[in-house]
C-alpha cells in the first residue's frame, strides 16, 4: 500500500467539495486515512478543525516521511508505465501533478510537527472518537482501492465505524470506488443494502466528465434530527 500525500485541491475535486463549503463546516472534519496528505494543514488554514487518523501516525515522523517519499516515487513510476490508468485531466502533466504531492507532503510534515495531537494513530475498523464527533468524514484511497486488504465484511465494518464517528446531521464521503487497476467494486450494491440494514442511507454521486474517478459514496445515519439539512446541501 502506498503512503500518499494528496493536496487539498485534489481532495476537493475527488469528493466534490469546495473551500467555501469546508470553511462553512459546522464542526470538525475527519480525514481517515490521513496518510501524508496536505488536507489537514491546508483546511486548517481555512479555519476548519481537522483531525487526521492513520495507523502510521504511531511511527516516528522520519519513518513516515520516508514512506511518503517512496509512495510519491512509486506513483511516478506507475504513471509513466501505465498512463492509461490515469485518464483524469489533472494527471496529464504528471510532473506538475506530482509536484502538488511534494508540496502537500511538506505541508503535512510541518503541520504534524506543529499540531501532533491532530494526527491520531488509529486503524479502521476501530477509531478512538466518540459517536457523532465529526461534521464531515472523508476516506480517500483505502477501502475500495485496496480490496486485497479489505474483504467485503471488513469494508462494511469500516464504513459503519466512519458513520458512527460522524454527526447524524453530517456525512461520510468515500472515494474512489475502484481498485488500483480500475476495477469497480463488484459488490457495492450488496454493501449498500447491508449498510441500509444498519440504518445507514447511501448514495453515489457522479462528477460530470470525471471518468472512472468521478464516483463518490456518500453515507448518512438514517435517523437524522428533524429539520437538519446536513452541513453542505450541494456541498460546492
Ligand X SMILES: C[S@@+](CC[C@H](N)C(=O)[O-])C[C@H]1O[C@@H](n2cnc3c(N)ncnc32)[C@H](O)[C@@H]1O
The DSSP code for 185 is: P
**Alpha-carbon gap, residue 8 to 214, rounded angstroms:** 17
Residues near 186 by beta carbon (within 8 Å), at least 6 away in sequence: none
**Closest to ligand X by CB, 108 or 169:** 108
Instruction: Dump strand ranges (E) for 74-214.
Output: 119-120, 134-140, 166-175, 200-206
Q: Name the residue with the smallest CB distance to ligand X.
A: 35
Three cell numbers, residue 195: 449498510
* 209, 190, 225, 11: CA torsion to nearest 10: -30
- Considering only 9, 88, 106, 123, the residue that binds ligand X (CB under 6 A) is 123
Q: Shortest gap between Cβ of 33 and ligand X (angstroms)?
A: 3
Q: Closest approach of Cβ 167 to ligand X, in Å?
A: 20
202 binds ligand X (CB under 6 A): no
Least gap, CB of 173 to ligand X (angstroms): 12
Residue 43-72 contact track with ligand X, rule CB under 6 A, x = bound: -----------xxx----------------
| Total residues belonging to the chain | 236
What number of CA atoms fall less than 13 Å from residue 108's CA on the CB side? 30
Q: Draw the binding track, 18-47, toward ligand X (x: CB under 6 A; -: no contact).
A: --------------xx-x-x----------
- Count of residues interacting with ligand X (CB under 6 A): 18
Residue 124 in contact with ligand X, rule: CB under 6 A: yes
Please say whether the dihedral angle defined by the alpha carbons of residues 41, 46, 47 and 52, taken in this order, is positive or negative: negative
User: Of 205, 159, 212, which is closest to residue 183 (Cα–Cα)?
Assistant: 212
The reply on whether position 142 binds ligand X by CB under 6 A is yes
140 binds ligand X, rule: CB under 6 A: yes
> Is residue 128 close enough to count as binding ligand X by CB under 6 A?
no
Q: Footprint of ligand X on this chain (CB under 6 A)?
A: 1-6, 32-33, 35, 37, 54-56, 123-124, 140-142
Amino acid at each position: 500500500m502506498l503512503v500518499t500525500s494528496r493536496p487539498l485541491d485534489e481532495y476537493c475535486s475527488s469528493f466534490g467539495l469546495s473551500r467555501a463549503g469546508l470553511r462553512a463546516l459546522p464542526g470538525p472534519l475527519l480525514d481517515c486515512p490521513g496518510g501524508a496528505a496536505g488536507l489537514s494543514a491546508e483546511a486548517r488554514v481555512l479555519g476548519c478543525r481537522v483531525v487526521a487518523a492513520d495507523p502510521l501516525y504511531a511511527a516516528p515522523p522520519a519513518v513516515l516521511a520516508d514512506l511518503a517519499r517512496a509512495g510519491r516515487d512509486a506513483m511516478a513510476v506507475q504513471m509513466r508505465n501505465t498512463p492509461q490508468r490515469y485518464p483524469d485531466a489533472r494527471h496529464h502533466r504528471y510532473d506538475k501533478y506530482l509536484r502538488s504531492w511534494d508540496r502537500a507532503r511538506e505541508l503535512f510534515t510541518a503541520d504534524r510537527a506543529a499540531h501532533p495531537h491532530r494526527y491520531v494513530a488509529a486503524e479502521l475498523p476501530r477509531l478512538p472518537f466518540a459517536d457523532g464527533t465529526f461534521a464531515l468524514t472523508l476516506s480517500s484511497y483505502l477501502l475500495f482501492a485496496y480490496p486485497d486488504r479489505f474483504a467485503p465484511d471488513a469494508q462494511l465494518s469500516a464504513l459503519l465505524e466512519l458513520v458512527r464517528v460522524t454527526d447524524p446531521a453530517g456525512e461520510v464521503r468515500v472515494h474512489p470506488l475502484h481498485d488500483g487497476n480500475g476495477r469497480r467494486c463488484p459488490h457495492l450494491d450488496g454493501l449498500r443494502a447491508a449498510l441500509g440494514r444498519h440504518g445507514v442511507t447511501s448514495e453515489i454521486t457522479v462528477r460530470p466528465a470525471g471518468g472512472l474517478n468521478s464516483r463518490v459514496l456518500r453515507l448518512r445515519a438514517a435517523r437524522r434530527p428533524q429539520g437538519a439539512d446536513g452541513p453542505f446541501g450541494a456541498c460546492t
